[in-house]
Amino acid sequence: LSVLHTSASLALNESWDPDVRDDMEMMLNKIVPEGLPYRHSCEGPDDMPAHVKACFLGSSLTIPITDGKLSLGTWQGVWLCEHRDQAGSRKLKNLAKANMAQQRAAAVIAASRGGLWTSHRSKWETLRDGVDIDDVTKMSTRTRT
């Protein structure tokens, strides 16, 4: 699974306790604060910090698929992390070695206003164990407000 943007990232982490998300957001903002004299700031003060956070977390994940479902641990979820305050749509690409029915989910578009994880607003979307690949497409194409 890959996010096709430079200011958003993917992570595999705890998906049940919202405190984990809040703590992760707090730590990322401490490690990569806004307000430093970044040279690349043409899109606003959150621009360069978003790129750095995306580099730290990464843009892709490899997740096993069993019987057409994501094989995740009990508490694991896939986080699509939006690091910009005002991001546009985000695109994901799912390249699965699967049967033809499962390959329908090969191109996933995440239409989000402010993202699935906004590092300043705590908006999150996670995919949990046993999610069908087709459900990933449905979940990721909903419009966020």
145 in a domain, yes or no? no
Per the structure, the complete domain to which residue 107 belongs is given by 2-140
Q: Is the pLDDT of residue 107 over 50?
A: no
Cα angle 99-100-105, degrees, rounded to a multiple of 5: 100
Q: Is the pLDDT of residue 116 over 50?
A: no
- Weakest-pLDDT range from 51-55, 75-79, 87-91: 87-91
pTM above 0.85, yes or no: no
Q: Which residue has the tokens 């979820």?
A: 77
Q: Which residue has the tokens 């995740």?
A: 72
33 in a domain, yes or no? yes
92 in a domain, yes or no? yes
Q: What is the chain's mean pLDDT, rounded?
A: 71
Radius of gyration of the chain (CA): 15
Distance of CA 134 to the CA centre of its chain: 18
Total domain count, the chain: 1
108 in a domain, yes or no? yes
CB atoms closer than 10 angstroms to residue 103 = 14
